[in-house]
Amino acid sequence: MPTPETPDLDELLAAAHVVRLPMRVRFRGVTEREAVLLRGPGGWAEWCPFVEYADADAARWLAAAVEAGWGQLPAPVRDEVGVNATVPALPAAEVEGLLARVDARRTAKVKVAEAGQSLDDDVARVTEVRRVLGPAARIRVDANGAWSEQEALAALERLAPLGLEYAEQPCGTVEELAALRLALARRGVDVPVAADESIRRAQDPLRVARLEAADLVVVKVAPLGGVARALEIIERCGLPAVVSSALDTSVGLSLGVRLAAALPALEHDCGLGTATLLAADVVAEPLVPAGGVLTLARAEAARDAVDPAALAAYRPGPDRETWWRDRLTRAHSLL
């Protein structure tokens, strides 16, 4: 797949629309999601690195946007992708109401290890998800690297009886993940380990495979630099992959669907249902699952359907507009 030629800065700035979208619930510490929508000759693209990320990280996200808007995407091999529900670090009493709004109920990803909460809170939340979704549902947990090795071992010993599909990034470092996998095996705790941040934020994403630190990898289009780059990393890792979102608008989610549709094998439902966490979107009909799946046709339609009225309605104030344009300038210089 040829690498797209990087457009010059003036072209990117002219194509950029900054938005700030309200969220239904607090997720990953965020109550409003800011993003930059870019209209290129190949269609709409999205650039939305989290505000705390360094410019080098932001540049990889920009490379993904350039691929989508100015390049050529790898060809798909499937027409639809299974999608999991996402349960933020809510009190257990709020889980049923959240899941009632989600049409993706065969698999759920549950956030755990939230700052200010306890393991008892995590167990109660996962227990309630299991009760609501039933014994056949697949449940995975995501700690975003917040546990130490010993904390992760203790937590997964308590959570394992609830039937976990896998634990996503239970510890922060690749070395901790490798040690945790070994400790879980020695204790007879059958919980596979998935690597997320250790892939998407690492200078060397292949260390996870070399150190046998994970059973599968969670990949996101934007942090890895685009669909083609993500496919290359997955192939070189040689591990099963789950495609997830980075709390994207429907434009970013459509590119996640495109990656999942291009994978040679797809054994797990993907984390691409997060449009339900947004109270507003940049398209009139957000890209949300129907019957637990997203089709490639719906994803492509959503990407083409950015609403100018939404871009205007959710445009932030001049200070945030300037902040993002300055950041775009810095990221562009690193491409």
Task: Kindly tell me if the per-residue pLDDT of 2 is higher than 90.
Answer: no
How far is Cα 261 from Cα 298, in angstroms, rounded to an integer? 12
Residue with tokens 């009760």: 131
Cβ within 8 Å of residue 84, ≥6 positions away: 104, 107, 108, 109, 138, 140, 269, 270, 271, 273
Least confident of 10-14, 45-49, 174-178, 207-211: 207-211
Task: Kindly tell me if the per-residue pLDDT of 155 is higher than 80.
Answer: yes
Predicted pLDDT of residue 202 = 64
Task: Kindly tell me if the per-residue pLDDT of 5 is higher than 90.
Answer: no
From 17, 60, 109, 111, active-site residue:
111
Nearest Cα residue to 83 out of 259, 264, 282, 295: 295
Quick one: tokens of 69? 């808007």
How far is Cα 335 from Cα 331, in angstroms, rounded to an integer? 7
Task: Kindly tell me if the per-residue pLDDT of 76 is higher than 60.
Answer: yes
Pairing of strands 43-47, 193-195: unpaired
Q: In what order do the strands lie in the sheet with 30-40?
A: 16-27, 30-40, 43-47
Sign of CA dihedral 309, 310, 312, 313: positive
In sequence order, the β-bridge partners of residue 243 are 219
From 17, 60, 220, 268, active-site residue:
220
How far is Cα 299 from Cα 156, in angstroms, rounded to an integer? 35
Residues 53-64 have a mean pLDDT of: 96
DSSP-assigned letter for residue 317: -
Q: What is the tens place of the pLDDT at every residue in 11-43?
A: 999 999 999 999 998 877 789 999 999 999 999
Residues 164-178 have a mean pLDDT of: 97
Residues 273-299 have a mean pLDDT of: 94
220: annotated active-site residue: yes
**What string of DSSP letters covers 219-258?**
E-HHHHTSHHHHHHHHHHHTS-EEEB-SS--HHHHHHHHH
**What string of DSSP letters covers 54-110?**
-HHHHHHHHHHHHHHHHS-PPPPS-SEEEB-EEE-S--GGGHHHHHHT-S--SEEEE
Predicted pLDDT of residue 137 = 96
How far is Cα 215 from Cα 175, in angstroms, rounded to an integer? 14
Predicted pLDDT of residue 26 = 82
User: What's the residue count for the chain?
Assistant: 335
Q: What is the tens place of the pLDDT at every residue in 187-239?
A: 999 999 999 988 877 678 889 999 999 999 999 999 999 999 999 999 999 99
What angle, rounded to 10 degrees, do the helices at 55-70 and 227-237 form? 110
171 contacts 177 by C-beta, under 8 angstroms: yes
109: annotated active-site residue: no
3-class secondary structure, 170: coil
Q: Tell me how crowded residue 233 is: count the other CB atoms within 10 A of its CB.
A: 19
142 contacts 110 by C-beta, under 8 angstroms: yes
The runs of H, that is alpha helices, within the chain are: 9-15, 55-70, 95-100, 119-133, 149-159, 174-187, 197-200, 207-210, 221-224, 227-237, 250-262, 296-303, 308-313, 318-333
